[in-house]
Chains A and B, each alone.
Chain A
Amino acid sequence: MKKYTVIIPTTNNVVGINDIVKEDPLVSSVICENNNLEALPISPFYNSFVKSPTGIIEKLVGHSSFRIDITKPIHNGKSWQLAIAIAHIFFKNNILNFSNENQLLTKKTEEIIWASGTINSNLEIKKINYLDQKIYNSINFFKNCIQNKIQINVILSIENKDDFDILLSNNEFLNNAIKNNLIKVLFFTNLYGLFDHLNLKNILKKPIKQLSFFQKSKKSLSLLSVIFVTILIAVMFNSIWQKTSPLLSLNDNKNYSLLLTTLKTYRYGNLTERIVAYFYDYLQTLQSNEINKQIRLNFIPYNNSESNKLKCLQGNQSIDYVCDLNLEVSNVGKETVFLWALKFSNLNLKKKSFKKNNKKSDIVNGMIKSNEIFLIDIKNSYEPITLFIVYSKKFDIKIIDWLKRVDRENSLLESTIKRIKALGYGYTINSIKNVKLIENTI
């Protein structure tokens, strides 16, 4: 295999590599000049460049400590990184030809790698400064190489291309050498590109991301999770349906007492039963709200006597006690609505119980088609009264019985409201109070 001599250009010298030795991992990597005992000042930076995790050389060649000897000192800067990295990789693969102390080119030299650049942890080659000085310092060395028929490869970062083009326009020797293919100038974005160009791909392979088991089976895992979630939802839905269907059939069969008992059991049952009860209630509330929205109530005061007519004009919030009342119930929806209206006194039950015994319940029942009005005459009463009106889209004979029970026993109002809500019927409650109003007339 062809061997390469690596050259590090600096602003003062053209530097060759004398020797690279693997040292004990305890030792910090050092750069020395021509086998001297004194480490060069850039040694700590070289050590950081070698040692993982900050450095890249350990990752590239698998060893963490080196002594490297160079022909001339390098005091500062980082542009040596590219040439040193290339030299380490070549050294590992036994294709590096070392220079001598006083002779950069040896008899073994076949091809020159003249490289200047910095490298980051992704092996990207970055721009360097003072390219012009480095090139001018190397001109005699290039001429020497050409005389000895040694191929020169100038390796730079792609970011230095513009700088090099400017240099080229002012340097005839370089122009001719490049035209005659004696010097190849190569610009790279990363180290992989260089090794690819030198047909040394096998030496520095671009790492292929190793996929973990989970990453490899990502597709099948996602499919499995979709299936799992689908099955889970199906099982849950089935379980909910098993509990919901009896409620629906009880509702359809108008078996209200059993329906309400079952619902009550569900509310205190297991999680599925609670969910079913919650959804059933929610759906019935939606249905109930929908009916309520269809209905508009309008109280109209009136009095037939001429003396009181003016007192019963519409538009006031309070209505004179001499006025009679009409309740106008209008259906603004598209579907027909059935209504059941109960008027009962708010007086204490004990007081009125003796009166109610033989009295017929004050319940009005009717049907309002779409965009029609139903008028209820609320006869004048000197007692405060409550109007409890139930609405449904289908006729239910049992509602009259429930209202009758409320009329007899007002305390049943709360439980009746719950029952009506549970069955999805709409309702309104209006209290008409009989009050004395004292106005300050002064």
Chain B
Amino acid sequence: MNNKDKISDTFLALNYLNLSKNYSATELKSKFNINMVWDVYSNPFKYQNQINHFLKNKVFSDAYFLILKNEGCIYQAKLNAASNERVFSRSSNEFKIEIVKSNKNEDVYYLIIKIINDIDLQLSNLYVICDNKTDCIKLPILNDKQAQILIKKSDNFFNLITNPNAEIFIR
């Protein structure tokens, strides 16, 4: 690591100083610190298999999503009013989500993500947060600003993403 990177990291650390105050001694024992959160944010592919495990830690997920919001992501907030318990279509100015049932298998749904505007960010994961529960799914390569993922109705991810109170991040 050269000096420039060290200085850059120092400034970032100072930026997130307030955040680090939330860490208690017990959480430090679980090997999470601001460097770790930043590393997960910076290298999503490296931690692809562990990210869901990390997100189970509330402090980690709070820090992680704060970094995501600050550093840039596309986002959908909770729905103000939903007529159903489950929502299969939702949209923001940045992207649309459609969840379509498969005709082959009743337990399988297609999650269709359509990005509305051109975005410079590298979009690799879709994160859902709802009632202190989080889940993450890897995005396939966007084709014509559209991605499609097969999801199971029985999965936690399905329950979260169809919940009107879910917040969705793509980054």
Name A residues whose Cβ lies closer than 8 Å to a Cβ of B. Answer: 19, 21-24, 26-28, 30, 32, 35, 37-39, 44, 47, 67, 69
CB-defined contacts of A69 to chain B, threshold 8 Å: 104
Q: Of B100, B112, B140, B146, which contacts A39 at CB under 8 A?
A: B140
B105 at the interface (CB under 8 A from A): yes
The A-B contact count (CB < 8 A) is 47
Given A37-B151, A39-B148, A26 and B104 contact (CB-CB distance below 8 Å): no
Q: Of B105, B110, B140, which contacts A27 at CB under 8 A?
A: B110
CB-defined contacts of A27 to chain B, threshold 8 Å: 100, 102, 110, 112, 148
CB-defined contacts of A22 to chain B, threshold 8 Å: 103
Chain B 51-92 per-residue mask, 1 if CB under 8 angstroms from chain A, else 0: 000000000000000000000000000000000000000000
Report the bound CA distance from A89 to B105 in whole Å: 23
Measured CB to CB, the nearest residue on chain A to B142 is A44
- Interface class of chain A by DSSP: mixed
CB-defined contacts of B150 to chain A, threshold 8 Å: 30, 32, 37-39
Chain B 100-139 per-residue mask, 1 if CB under 8 angstroms from chain A, else 0: 1111110010101000000000000000000000000000
CB-defined contacts of A21 to chain B, threshold 8 Å: 102-104
CB-defined contacts of A30 to chain B, threshold 8 Å: 148, 150
Task: Please list 12 pairs of residues, one from A and one from B, whose beta carbons are closer than 8 Å in the complex, sorted by A's number.
Answer: A23-B100, A23-B103, A23-B110, A26-B98, A26-B112, A27-B100, A27-B148, A28-B112, A28-B146, A37-B151, A37-B152, A44-B141
CB-defined contacts of A32 to chain B, threshold 8 Å: 150
Contact of B112 with A67 in the complex, beta carbons under 8 Å: no
Report the bound CA distance from A67 to B101 in whole Å: 12
CB-defined contacts of B143 to chain A, threshold 8 Å: 28, 44, 47
Total residues of chain B contacting the partner, CB 8 A: 18
CB-defined contacts of B148 to chain A, threshold 8 Å: 27-28, 30, 39
CB-defined contacts of B108 to chain A, threshold 8 Å: 37
Report the bound CA distance from A30 to B105 in whole Å: 14
Contacts A26-B112, A27-B100, A35-B105 aside, 5 further interface pairs with beta carbons under 8 A come to A23-B102, A27-B112, A37-B108, A37-B151, A39-B140
Shortest A430–chain B CB gap in Å is 85
- Interface class of chain B by DSSP: strand
Report the bound CA distance from A112 to B150 in whole Å: 32
CB-defined contacts of B110 to chain A, threshold 8 Å: 23-24, 26-27
Report the bound CA distance from A201 to B100 in whole Å: 37
Shortest A369–chain B CB gap in Å is 93
CB-defined contacts of B102 to chain A, threshold 8 Å: 21, 23, 27, 67
Measured CB to CB, the nearest residue on chain A to B101 is A24
Shortest A155–chain B CB gap in Å is 27
Report the bound CA distance from A28 to B148 in whole Å: 7
Measured CB to CB, the nearest residue on chain B to A27 is B110
Shortest A256–chain B CB gap in Å is 84
Contact of A24 with B151 in the complex, beta carbons under 8 Å: no
Measured CB to CB, the nearest residue on chain A to B148 is A28
Report the bound CA distance from A67 to B105 in whole Å: 11
Report the bound CA distance from A38 to B152 in whole Å: 11
Report the bound CA distance from A168 to B148 in whole Å: 44
Report the bound CA distance from A67 to B108 in whole Å: 12
Shortest A346–chain B CB gap in Å is 88
Measured CB to CB, the nearest residue on chain B to A29 is B148
Report the bound CA distance from A26 to B89 in whole Å: 12
Report the bound CA distance from A21 to B101 in whole Å: 12
9 closest cross-chain pairs (CB), A and B: A21-B104, A37-B150, A44-B143, A27-B110, A24-B100, A28-B148, A21-B103, A26-B100, A27-B100
Residue in A19, A24, A38 whose Cβ sees the most chain B Cβ within 10 Å: A24
CB-defined contacts of A24 to chain B, threshold 8 Å: 100-101, 103, 110
Measured CB to CB, the nearest residue on chain B to A48 is B143
Shortest A46–chain B CB gap in Å is 11
Residue in B98, B101, B102, B112 whose Cβ sees the most chain A Cβ within 10 Å: B102
Contact of B100 with A19 in the complex, beta carbons under 8 Å: no
CB-defined contacts of A38 to chain B, threshold 8 Å: 150
Shortest A63–chain B CB gap in Å is 11
CB-defined contacts of A67 to chain B, threshold 8 Å: 102-104
Measured CB to CB, the nearest residue on chain A to B89 is A26
CB-defined contacts of B151 to chain A, threshold 8 Å: 37
CB-defined contacts of A26 to chain B, threshold 8 Å: 98, 100, 110, 112
Report the bound CA distance from A24 to B100 in whole Å: 7
Shortest A17–chain B CB gap in Å is 14
Shortest A38–chain B CB gap in Å is 7
Shortest B34–chain A CB gap in Å is 35
Shortest B47–chain A CB gap in Å is 20
Report the bound CA distance from A30 to B152 in whole Å: 16
CB-defined contacts of B103 to chain A, threshold 8 Å: 21-24, 67
